[in-house]
Amino acid sequence: DAKTTQPNSMESNEEEPVHLPCNHSTISGTDYIHWYRQLPSQGPEYVIHGLTSNVNNRMASLAIAEDRKSSTLILHRATLRDAAVYYCILRESGGTSYGKLTFGQGTILTVHP
């Protein structure tokens, strides 16, 4: 599995935007970039995913570099409920990695009131 690199931790203030970076220099052309987050005492939760173009949904935006070797998850206005561990994961499209998500250590996001 291609590897991702994320900062161990980041901090933000409530209602400010948060940019969570992820490096994936060995990404292949068929790898999708997925983000999941895990709130305290809960299972991981899907946030967003993309292949080449930037993506937006109700939770966040995903900005993908032109060479696809890095991406940034953007939370437009952080709330206390966004405090979680954020995981950047590469998933091969059409491969045989059924059901398998390869989690790294993720980024612990702390949101201050």
Partner 1 sequence: KAGVTQTPRYLIKTRGQQVTLSCSPISGHRSVSWYQQTPGQGLQFLFEYFSETQRNKGNFPGRFSGRQFSNSRSEMNVSTLELGDSALYLCASSVAGQETQYFGPGTRLLVL
Contacting range for partner 1; rule: CB under 8 A; set: 10-18, 21-29, 36-44, 53-61 = 36-44
Provide the token pair at 52: 């080449």
CA distance 80 to 100: 30
Interactions with partner 1, residue window 46-105 (CB under 8 A): 46, 49, 87, 91, 93-105
Interstrand relation of 107-112 and 9-13 (parallel, antiparallel or unpaired): parallel
- In the complex, minimum distance from the CB of residue 89 to partner 1, in angstroms, rounded to a whole number: 10
Q: Quickly tell me which residue has 């989690």 as its tokens.
A: 103
Task: For the segment 4-23, give every residue that binds partner 1 (CB under 8 A).
Answer: none
Element (H, E) at 49: strand 45-50
Sites of contact with partner 1 (CB under 8 A): 42-46, 49, 87, 91, 93-106
